[in-house]
Amino acid sequence: MLIQEIFTPGHEYPPSSLQKLEDGPDVGDLIGSGSFAKVYEDKTNQYNVIKIGRVENEDPKKDGYLAFLNNIKRLKIITFPRVDTIEIFKNVDEGYIPYIFKVRMEKLIPGTELSSSEIISLFERFLGKNSPAEELEIHQETDIINKIEIFLGYLKRYMFTDGFADELKQIPDRNLRLAVRSMKKTMKEFKLDLHGYNVMFRRTPYGVQPVFTDPFAWLK
């Protein structure tokens, strides 16, 4: 189902519970979790994951993550994850959570698994001549997240400062520019939540590619 159809006024959300979604026959081992969702292996496809989570807003249109999924489907930018299916359910559990979701998407690599040379190539290929001169050598896992946050810091300068539109053109990668522009736009409505664990990576024949998995939190 298209996410646009899900947001059509009057759309009926089938009832379900988190437990029922998590017990689904296609749901494998837990591989990650954040404040709103858990991510599992997809038993039907080794290249995918299943993300199951909560929408804490009465109106699904006002949820930052669902708005982001909508952008992914609409824009088809490769620095956003490939998303195969999106399902939204009315939550039948007691409590304040109105909706829950189940998303099937590509399996990505966490930043903590990148090597020093991958981090260096990430800066060179995606930030071009704005790439920082500082030492990018990595000694431990916390260093990697720290470097990724520095990388994100460069992108956030464009997002938070209006006069930087021209500088954005210096980012050599077209897909990264498109993603930054799209996030800058979405930031007007939703709170940006871009940190070292909300960007993941894809290994390609050309090198490692950043993929923004979860850049928005709630309504501003």
Binding site for ligand ADP (CB under 6 A): 31-37, 39, 49, 51, 53, 81, 105-108, 110, 197-198, 200, 213-214
Closest separation between CB of residue 128 and ligand ADP, Å? 27
Closest separation between CB of residue 53 and Mg ion, Å? 10
Euclidean distance between the first and the last CA atom of the chain, given in angstroms as a whole number? 28
DSSP per-residue codes, 133-146: -S-----SHHHHHH
Question: CA-CA distance, 9 to 48, in Å (whole number)?
Answer: 31
Residue 180 vs 199, nearer CB to Mg ion: 199
Closest separation between CB of residue 12 and ligand ADP, Å? 25
Query: H helices within the chain, ranges in order?
Result: 3-6, 18-22, 64-75, 116-127, 141-160, 165-168, 174-186
Asked whether position 214 contacts Mg ion by CB under 5 A, the answer is yes
- Applying CB under 5 A, the span of 18-26, 31-39, 111-119, 202-210 interacting with Mg ion comes to 31-39
Residue 52 vs 136, nearer CB to Mg ion: 52
Closest separation between CB of residue 51 and ligand ADP, Å? 6
Q: Which residue is nearest to ligand ADP (CB)?
A: 34
Question: CA-CA distance, 154 to 157, in Å (whole number)?
Answer: 5
Asked whether position 110 contacts Mg ion by CB under 5 A, the answer is no
What backbone phi and psi angles, to 5 degrees, belong to 213?
-95, -30
Closest separation between CB of residue 211 and ligand ADP, Å? 8
- Applying CB under 5 A, the span of 28-36, 64-72, 139-147, 203-211 interacting with Mg ion comes to 28-36
Question: CA-CA distance, 43 to 40, in Å (whole number)?
Answer: 9
Closest separation between CB of residue 110 and ligand ADP, Å? 5
108 is in the binding site of which of Mg ion, ligand ADP, none (Cβ under 5 to 8 A by kind)? ligand ADP
Residue 171 vs 186, nearer CB to ligand ADP: 186
Distant-in-sequence, close-in-space partners of 86: CB < 8 Å, separation ≥ 6 = 1, 3, 6, 69, 73, 101, 102, 103
Cα 218 to its chain centre, rounded Å, is 14
Query: Residues in the chain, how many?
Result: 220
Question: CA-CA distance, 198 to 213, in Å (whole number)?
Answer: 6
Asked whether position 32 contacts Mg ion by CB under 5 A, the answer is no
136 is in the binding site of which of Mg ion, ligand ADP, none (Cβ under 5 to 8 A by kind)? none
Contact residues toward Mg ion (CB under 5 A) are 34, 198, 214
